[in-house]
Structure 1
């Protein structure tokens, strides 16, 4: 958390300070929970023996999270998964979701209710005009052991609707790309789109959808080939996510695929940036006036996204400058201090709705960008 420049309105400054105070209190509470012998999870209770500080007495605010070593994603590969379950929550039904793992052992994240909480919070940001309460949803994204599938279904249920899902294995998509089997890839994509169109044309009164950018594009193109459109099928609200969201793609999507902004097309799209570790970062409203720029804001205080120096992950870059995205997740279920994402972006100023730092221009981190296979995302 950083202060804003002195020209900021006093009301915004007050909101920034209140958000910082809330984050400091939350960080203290979460660390107390995860490192106390009576409530913490086996992983952190064992790991704290390696630290040269005592988290229970020396972490008093969010800035003190810097005392922890950077989180290593290898810690999430392999089991036992129960080493991540806090003692205080050990008797609750537990989910395990996977992330990554196109080759080798995937990373696993233990979840109890975080995916419900994250998406209920996200639900409050959706405009009811375009995401009507009680509407049914289409989930056009990855299925299987991924959090997104159950989370979107819960979002639909939380808003009073029913969620229709397709089968999609993104690991198979990545393998097809790596093998150069582009004809097979195209057929698999058609298979997914066929599933979606079958559902949309079956009289289920679906008004809302989740779709990855690539699949949303493919869906609109195939509907056009068949003489249909999203608007004609009754879709009014689309929740989408991924680093594929560039200002250029967003302009193309809104102007070409939808037929104009919501007030003209009747279709509202909200870009999000999220993952299995963080949850969902909401975007500042995307408009033509702002050249379709997309700025994401993490769901503080449950998660914090910082833009840090490429060479010094402990140093936050100045506003408007580029750096690597560093994530800290702090919930009662899961504590991840200082995880360096595979993404980079530019640091954005706080604003009225989200009075804390944001990140724009998200794209694969330059250290791995040339070797990254995006697949359906």
Structure 2
């Protein structure tokens, strides 16, 4: 690499670092300011052995804070998380599954919209056509995902069709060992999806978790059709089950081959109620379906 090229990279790194530091300071100032901060962080400020308003001047200075304890997110009142600077905004509360007791809560104003608007720009229009309708095959109830996928569909000019799925009931069935009931509930959820897809709603895009996508493809095959034949061309799939092995199985076995052969584009993502959304670059057989 030439000296000029090395200098350019160093300048880009310096610029990125400066922007990160600037953003860090801006956020800390906002959250610990008496006029804009939330009751939770303003109370925490009094417990710190430093003043975040004067002693956080870079991203590295965040190390001065103790580790965040996610147990703080359990229970209420959730308004302790609402910043004074946003207290007049419409407020949403999203919850985790609650499998270990009281669910953890996340208070949100607009970030679930922004996340998915940014994500929208990574979707190829050829397979996620603007104006197309969507199927949301995932958890409903007090979760960020349903509203976020609905907003994604609307942002792209479409309408989102949702099924009714309660993952907390699924967890209870598993804990009780009611596996027959669990299988029936799975069928109930997939039947809803099949009904929507075969009702003439012109749905071309969808969200599904890996397990539900697998079950949907199987159910369609049992009915003599396929995910392609019902019109799906773009699939946004997310969940912690994603592995290169499952992705290979999905693309090669369920879809019948890579995008250029099957006509179906899938974008793997990772996300949950608390952290939001992170999408992968396109996965390929050449990279052994690595998700990154």
Q: Shift in Å at residue 60 of structure 1?
A: 1.4
Q: Which residue does the alignment assign to 1:128?
A: 125
Is 1:35 matched with 2:32? yes
Q: Which residue does the alignment assign to 2:103?
A: 106
Query: Are the counterparts in 1 of residues 21 and 58 from structure 2 also a CA contact under 8 Å?
Result: yes
19-28 vs 163-172, greater mean Cα deviation: 19-28
The alignment yields a C-alpha RMSD, in angstroms, of: 1.5
Secondary structure of residue in 2 paired with 1:269: strand
Q: Looking at both structures, which has the greater relative contact order when contacts are Cα pairs under 8 Å and sequence separation is at least 6?
A: 1
User: What 5-or-longer segments of structure 2 have no aligned partner?
Assistant: none
Q: Shift in Å at residue 140 of structure 1?
A: 0.2
In the alignment, which of 17, 21, 27 is matched to residue 20 of structure 1? 17
* Distance in 1 separating the partners of 2:124 and 2:280: 13
What's the TM-score, normalizing by structure 2?
0.95
In the alignment, which of 199, 203, 208 is matched to residue 206 of structure 1? 203
Is 1:249 matched with 2:242? no
Secondary structure of residue in 2 paired with 1:288: coil
Is 1:93 matched with 2:64? no
Q: Which residue does the alignment assign to 1:371?
A: none
275-284 vs 18-27, greater mean Cα deviation: 18-27
Q: Which residue does the alignment assign to 1:216?
A: 213
1:24-63 pair list within 5 angstroms: 24-63=21-60
Deviations 1:104-129 (A, max 9, x none): 21011111111111111111111111
Secondary structure of residue in 2 paired with 1:270: strand
Q: Which residue does the alignment assign to 1:144?
A: 141
Secondary structure of residue in 2 paired with 1:137: strand
Is 1:273 matched with 2:270? yes
Secondary structure of residue in 2 paired with 1:221: helix
Q: 1:289 to 1:123 in 2, by over 3 A?
A: same
Is 1:288 matched with 2:279? no
Deviations 1:255-293 (A, max 9, x none): 000111111101000011112222211112211110111
Q: Which residue does the alignment assign to 2:184?
A: 187
User: What 5-or-longer segments of structure 1 have no aligned partner?
Assistant: 1-7, 296-377
Q: Which residue does the alignment assign to 2:63?
A: 66
* Distance in 2 separating the partners of 1:221 and 1:12: 49
1:4-19 pair list within 5 angstroms: 15-19=12-16
Deviations 1:14-62 (A, max 9, x none): 6554443322221111111000111100000001111111111111122
* Distance in 1 separating the partners of 2:259 and 2:288: 16
Q: 1:10 to 1:266 in 2, by over 3 A?
A: farther
Secondary structure of residue in 1 paired with 2:235: strand
Bigger helix share: 2
Secondary structure of residue in 1 paired with 2:200: coil
* Distance in 1 separating the partners of 2:12 and 2:144: 32
* Distance in 2 separating the partners of 1:228 and 1:20: 52
Q: Shift in Å at residue 11 of structure 1?
A: 6.6
Q: 1:196 to 1:42 in 2, by over 3 A?
A: same
Size of the aligned set, in residue pairs, is 288
Secondary structure of residue in 2 paired with 1:274: strand
159-168 vs 110-119, greater mean Cα deviation: 110-119
Specify the structure having the higher radius of gyration (Cα): 2
What's the TM-score, normalizing by structure 1?
0.74
238-247 vs 278-287, greater mean Cα deviation: 278-287
Q: 1:61 to 1:239 in 2, by over 3 A?
A: same
Q: 1:11 to 1:146 in 2, by over 3 A?
A: farther
Secondary structure of residue in 1 paired with 2:66: coil
* Distance in 1 separating the partners of 2:250 and 2:290: 13
* Distance in 2 separating the partners of 1:180 and 1:79: 32
